Amino acid sequence: MLNARILLIDDEKSIVQLLDMVLRKEGFRHIYCAYSAQEALMLLDKHGADVILLDVMLPDQSGFELGPKIRAISDAHLIFLTAKTSDLDILTGLAVGGDDYVTKPFNPLEIAARIKARLRRGMPLAPSRVTEETRTRYDFGYFALDDASCELLVDGRPVPCPALVYQLLLYLCRNPNMVFSKSQLYEAVWGLDGIGDDNTVMVHIRKIRERIEPDPGNPRFLVTIRGLGYKLVREKSL
């Protein structure tokens, strides 16, 4: 876990230096620092990354513009750092590829905790590391999730699925017809109790629906249970 590559992207050098110092004290060694979008893409191309902390306000382009470019070349866990606290700003960050967000000012130890929680859970296993005992296919008729190949099939066709969207869907597939609150889903997938925001889960629920539902606006599989949370419906005949 401590061998993870962490890319810090923020034009405020004091913030980058503070995060770099705290993360190194927590045992991380492979930390790369960028102060602009251009520099970030160069470092990402050269070193790769497992976790990226991305500020929204950068001198050459916004983090919202940079997010999709990062997503096009990396599956790293992407955490937005932002002084903007409106729901629209937060939802925008998650919609353009973010897995999570932290609002400024923040406690750098909270950042370290989020990174460790994410790395403890890891990414879906590559097929070469999956044993026969762990090979599982969750078939819901219209869509299926193959845990051996980490592949989502919708109406028989493979559909790209970002890591956190995949992990949330996998958790729901493993627990069909059970109702989970947003906080329960956040703790199960993001790994930190009481840290985070309902918006993070809501956006990822929407991303799942966009993939698995014939009509995302009128969900058939991933339904909302008013006042309680969400449930992935598995028909009894399947």
Q: Is residue 10 domain-shared with residue 100, that is, in the same domain? A: yes
- Overall domain count for the chain: 2
CA distance 210 to 214: 8
Residue type at 16? V
Query: In the prediction, which pLDDT does 75 show?
Result: 85
In a domain, 107, yes or no: yes
User: H or E element: which one contains 168?
Assistant: helix 163-174
Judged by DSSP in three states, 97 sits in coil
Whole-model pTM: value is: 0.63
Q: Which domain holds residue 26?
A: 5-121
One domain, residues 117 and 221: no
Q: Which long-range contacts (CB under 8 A, 24 or more apart) does 124-131 make?
A: 124/150, 124/163, 124/166, 124/167, 124/170, 125/150, 126/150
Element (H, E) at 180: strand 179-180
Domain containing 200 — which CATH number?
Answer: 1.10.10.10
Going residue by residue through the chain, which has 238 residues, state the pLDDT in tens, using 9 for 90 and above.
Answer: 678 999 999 999 999 999 999 999 999 999 999 999 999 999 999 999 999 999 999 999 999 999 999 988 888 889 988 876 666 777 777 778 888 888 888 889 888 888 887 787 664 333 333 334 445 889 999 999 998 888 999 999 999 888 788 889 999 999 999 999 988 888 888 776 555 567 788 889 999 999 999 999 999 999 999 989 999 998 765 5
Q: Which residues lie below 8 Å from residue 19, measured CB to CB, with a gap of 6+?
A: 8, 10, 53, 108, 111
Please give the Cα distance from 60 to 34 (Å, whole number): 12
Q: List the one residue out of 21, 206, 53 whose CA is nearest residue 118.
A: 53
Q: What is the distance between the alpha carbons of residues 189 and 185, in angstroms, rounded to a whole number?
A: 6
131 and 87 in a single domain? The answer is no
Residue 116: predicted pLDDT:
85
Question: Has residue 237 been placed in a domain?
Answer: no
CA distance 109 to 136: 37
Let me know if residue 44 belongs to a domain: yes
Find tokens 């629920």 and name the residue: 205
